[in-house]
Amino acid sequence: MTGTVYLVGAGPGDPGLLTLRAAELIARADVLVYDALVSPAILERATAPRRIYVGKRGGEHSRTQDEINDVLVELAREHRCVVRLKGGDPFVFGRGGEEALILARAGVPFEVVPGVTAGIAAPAYAGIPVTQRGMAASVAFVTGHEDPTKADTDVDWAHLARGVGTVVFYMGVGRMAENFRRLVEAGRAPDTPAAAIEWGTYPRQRTVTGTLATLPDVAREAGIGAPSLIVVGEVASLREQLAWWDRRPLSGKRIVVTRARAQASEFAAALEALGAETVQFPTVRIVPPADPEPLRRAAAGAGSFHWIVFTSANGVQHFWAALDEGGGDARSLAGVRVCAIGPATAAALKERGVRADLVPGEFVGEAAAEALLAAGPVVGLRILLPRADLARAAVPDRLRAAGADVVEVEAYRTVQDGAGADAVRRMLERGEVDAVTFTAASTVRSFVQLVGAGTGGALVASIGPVTSAAAREAGLQVDIEAAEYTIPGLLAAIRERLGNQSGTA
């Protein structure tokens, strides 16, 4: 039986431009064959047990096109769903047509899933419409580097120069000066506006503008490299008015997120929405307790406590898992008062049908203890604290000193993760990071153990005083601290300190 090969366009880079059909196929592929310009954020969506890289960058090919063709035919004989994932659109300078012909001749079923091509998306993100009433009624997509071994060119330079409103060169930064010279010689005015867009639709996107006469020098001085797209035409002059992608508050900033992988996505997405490029470096993982029995007993006996104090959403999640395992639910907490440290913890409880009776004004353990004491005498009260293995003793010590019977139970553990530590260390050493974020003391300790205390000039951003104290103790200088000890508070503090209009040109 022969499987189906899906020639799928991954779009230009921004995962938000992925089509629904492409996302569906990426998620269910048996094997993924992908190119160099497929965004890592898109590859993270894949669950395929087998992945084959066939990228081509800077003249270096991991495999020849003939070899790629053979691989696709062979894989179709072994798997039901083969996804050939290409940057942009498979039929726009993606050699998808060649691969489709080979598959057709070999009798292999195939489907084509178009993708958003960079020739439209990258200019749009740079604030350049490729067509515009009164400026450009036509657009041509042109390869920026024809095969140098060919005797003749397939490009009609005279027509491009005089008969097309906007010319978009793919992969043309290396031959920009030569291509511009041909356009001018064929009749295009040297003062025609032009733009070079590097890493289009990625957070690191950069755009420089000029004219046919000046842009090659401007791009060289700015260090614009591949992958880049070149736009020639009057529409390039609209960038100054329409630029938006690289004028967001955190555009051009690279920020390391050290939060545990399961929790990092929302924070990273919020930073990226403000324009930042995030490097997800989870220094810790959240795992169940080494011995789950004490948590099970505590959950089973939840009704015997006067108060349960949840210090984090993780504590809620793991306590509820133990509660569910024992056949309990929110009704098991009937008559029990609940304290939640922070709005995220309170929200996690509310999702499970429990409204917190007490949420301290400050989101730290000491404030929780004082709030409990202010709520009434605790002498003789049984108080349960399901929390992390490395949690501080401030809360139970204060409550015990006031006469409470405090039961501490390990709800989860934080263990060191650190995949990618070498890459993060190199970025820091090269001064390529603007900020490193910490959302818990455990992330600080693991970061320093994995990477060291040198940040290469990157600012240290902390979610609150407890985390800041751990950072200072580890030898880090804290530059940013959230006024409200939450992820939104940390986001606001980073925006206030780093927010700028960088990236414009």
Q: List the catalytic residues.
A: 35, 56, 171
Distance (Å, rounded) from C-alpha 119 to C-alpha 479?
40
> How many other CB atoms are there within 10 angstroms of residue 156's CB atom?
13
Instruction: DSSP for 325-360, please give it.
Output: HTT--GGGGTT-EEEESSHHHHHHHHHTT---SB--
Q: Are 209 and 194 in contact (CB under 8 A)?
A: yes
71 to each of 1, 27, 90, how far by Cα in Å?
17, 21, 17
Quote helix, strand, coil % in the chain, to nearest 5: 40, 20, 40
Residue 314: burial class (beta carbons within 10 Å; 0-12, 13-18, 19+): buried
463: left (phi > 0), else alpha (psi -120 to 50), else beta? alpha
**Which residue in the block uniquely carries the two structure tokens 């958003």?**
116
| Backbone CA torsion sign across 349, 355, 359, 365 | negative
Please enumerate in sequence order all residues whose Cβ is within 8 A of that of 395, keeping only pairs 6 or more positions apart, or say none.
Answer: 309, 311, 365, 366, 368, 369, 385
Distance (Å, rounded) from C-alpha 103 to C-alpha 340?
59
> How many other CB atoms are there within 10 angstroms of residue 159's CB atom?
11
Please enumerate in sequence order all residues whose Cβ is within 8 A of that of 265, keeping only pairs 6 or more positions apart, or say none.
Answer: none
Amino acid at 84: R
Q: Which helix or strand (DSSP H or E) is residue 311 part of? A: none
Q: Are 86 and 115 in contact (CB under 8 A)?
A: yes
Distance (Å, rounded) from C-alpha 228 to C-alpha 122?
9
Is the bond preceding residue 227 a cis peptide, omega within 30 degrees? yes
450 to each of 34, 171, 418, 453, how far by Cα in Å?
31, 38, 7, 9
Which of 284, 277, 314, 318 lies closest to 299 in space, CA to CA?
Answer: 318
Torsion from C-alpha of 13, 15, 20, 23, nearest 10 degrees: 90
Residues 178-202 as b or e (16 or more Cβ within 10 Å = b): ebbebbbeeebeeebbbbbbbbbbb
Distance (Å, rounded) from C-alpha 422 to C-alpha 428?
10
Q: Which helix or strand (DSSP H or E) is residue 459 part of? A: strand 459-462
